[in-house]
A and B are shown apart, each in its own frame.
Chain A
Amino acid sequence: MIELKNISKSFNGKQILHGIDVVYEKGKTNLIIGASGSGKSVLTKCTVGLIEPDEGQVLYNGKNFTAMKLDDRKEVRKKIGMLFQGGALFDSLSVEENIKFPLRMHASMTEKEMQDRVNFCLGRVNMSGINDRFPAEISGGMQKRVGIARAISLGPSYLFCDEPNSGLDPGTSILIDNLIKELTEEFQITTVVVTHDMNSVMEIGDHVIFIHKGHKHWEGTKDTILKTTNKELSDLVFASDLMKKVRKLS
């Protein structure tokens, strides 16, 4: 479980996050939604420690991550897997070496054990057989799936996904969404997904947090979101004709 308490952050005097409180539960897919520039990514980066919040606490299983020393943070980070918007695979390493990288850093494994783990992770994301390819040689969707394979290679307790569907066709988006959902349930991971893709919300949103102008504006599930009376949330979710029709049908 991850708990955010009163997280605030400003850049150059401009307040981006205003005292956000959230609890991300284990085994659930927690979605952060909001318009572009609302502070979703900053909130996630504060959660994983890539940005230091000005105020507030981030608690991983009750332990205050924000107050931890660097070495203690390292221990927590070993349990975090993250899928970045563009995949963030290391260009100079093959797919196999990308997935082996966290294992080489933190696991005491033989070469054979690492090889088995790589093959398992690639198999889990339906990407077997591309071990020797380089990131530049595979498509965006494949890079995202390899990114997920790398994120789960150490068997993380927490999985963060920053806009996993951006730039992907609808079919691949659904595939990625389903993969995230399956992994979350299968390994009982606390998963946090930053997105503004409403299909993802409807597919995998066990717990949805709506961020508006740096405030937590609404919190619920994929089912309750359809009945929301919150104006800002409605404007975001039901912006497309398709979603308006979905709302009518519900």
Chain B
Amino acid sequence: MKILQNIGEYFILMGRTFSQPTKASLIRKQISFELNSLGLGSMGIITIISAFMGAVITLQTASNIDSALIPDYTVGFTARQSMILEFSTTIIALILAGKVGSNIASEIGMMRVTEQIDALEIMGVNSASYLIVPKILAAVIINPFLAIWSMFIGISGGYLVAEFSGVVTTDAFIEGVQLDFKMFSIYYALIKTAVFAFIITSIPAYYGYNVKGGALEVGVASTKGVVTSSIVILIANYVITQLLLI
């Protein structure tokens, strides 16, 4: 029953968040702040993880190809498909759910326990809209760019491994990366990323917004926000894949 209550409260909060918009000038200022905080602030970790994942996918694929019947370009093809279809979207979303989600839940949660949200309400501000809309919009805008960046870095990481380790020639790797490329894969990845961005921001925001108590409860809300948004990402990943690819 608790889960149904949470789902109901979540949708009520989202309804309130989008039904009474805050003054546009204030929202614009907040969005640019969040673009920097949620987006550019995640570039470093995305770059490092993507580069190493691209490299490891290349090494593992190359080391597992024993048959002479499987062409060398399969390594580049696998690295590209893995990065575009799953890694740069789902895995990055799960990582960001931890980084960005905990940040959002604890920030809004602390504002709740220190009565800053009450202060906004007293001023006649729709606190849900003012606090949550800029985060959702910023993430939905910036995360697709982060996904594209992750794809580029991941495939580049694979290329560098091919260049320096010699597990596959760079020509074969590039041939595989270019083989049977479908632009729809990118659209599919970007749609997923935008949906995941909404999940990563809105679910932790819900847990933070409804904190009751003190610092301990803020920590609990932060954990719940990360765990729940991770599970919802996995479910959404399955649903979107079923709808768009099958």
Q: Does A74 contact B (CB under 8 A)?
A: yes
B124 and A74 form a contact (CB under 8 A): yes
B116 and A102 form a contact (CB under 8 A): no
Expressed in whole angstroms, the Cα–Cα distance for A68 and B125 within the complex equals 16
Q: Among residues 131 to 183 in chain B, which have CB atoms less than 8 Å away from a CB atom of chain A?
A: none
B119 and A84 form a contact (CB under 8 A): yes
Q: Does B9 contact A (CB under 8 A)?
A: no
Q: Chain B: which residue is nearest A153 at the CB level?
A: B123
Given A50-B122, A80-B122, A104 contacting B26 (CB threshold 8 A): yes
| Chain B residues with a Cβ closer than 8 Å to the other chain, count | 16
Q: How large is the interface on A (under 10, 10 to 19, 20 to 34, 35 or more residues)?
A: 20 to 34
Of the candidates B20, B118, B124, the one whose C-beta lies within 8 Å of that of A84 is B118
Expressed in whole angstroms, the Cα–Cα distance for A78 and B110 within the complex equals 25
Q: Does A85 contact B (CB under 8 A)?
A: yes
Chain B interface helix/strand/loop/mixed: helix
Q: Which of A24-32, A86-94, A193-201 contacts B (4 or more CB under 8 A)?
A: A86-94
Q: Which residues of A contact B110 (CB under 8 A)?
A: 91
A84 and B123 form a contact (CB under 8 A): no
Q: Does A70 contact B (CB under 8 A)?
A: yes
Expressed in whole angstroms, the Cα–Cα distance for A204 and B118 within the complex equals 26
Q: Among residues 170 to 211 in chain A, which have CB atoms less than 8 Å away from a CB atom of chain B?
A: none
Q: Among residues 39 to 85 in chain A, which have CB atoms less than 8 Å away from a CB atom of chain B?
A: 45, 48-50, 70, 73-75, 77-78, 80-82, 84-85
A104 and B25 form a contact (CB under 8 A): yes
- The residues of B with any CB-CB pair to A shorter than 8 Å are 20, 23, 25-26, 110-111, 114-116, 118-119, 121-125
- The residues of A with any CB-CB pair to B shorter than 8 Å are 45, 48-50, 70, 73-75, 77-78, 80-82, 84-86, 88-91, 101-102, 104-106, 160
The 20 listed contacts between A and B (C-beta, < 8 Å) are A45-B118, A50-B122, A75-B124, A77-B122, A77-B124, A78-B124, A80-B122, A82-B119, A82-B122, A85-B115, A88-B115, A90-B119, A91-B114, A101-B123, A102-B123, A104-B23, A104-B25, A105-B124, A106-B123, A106-B124
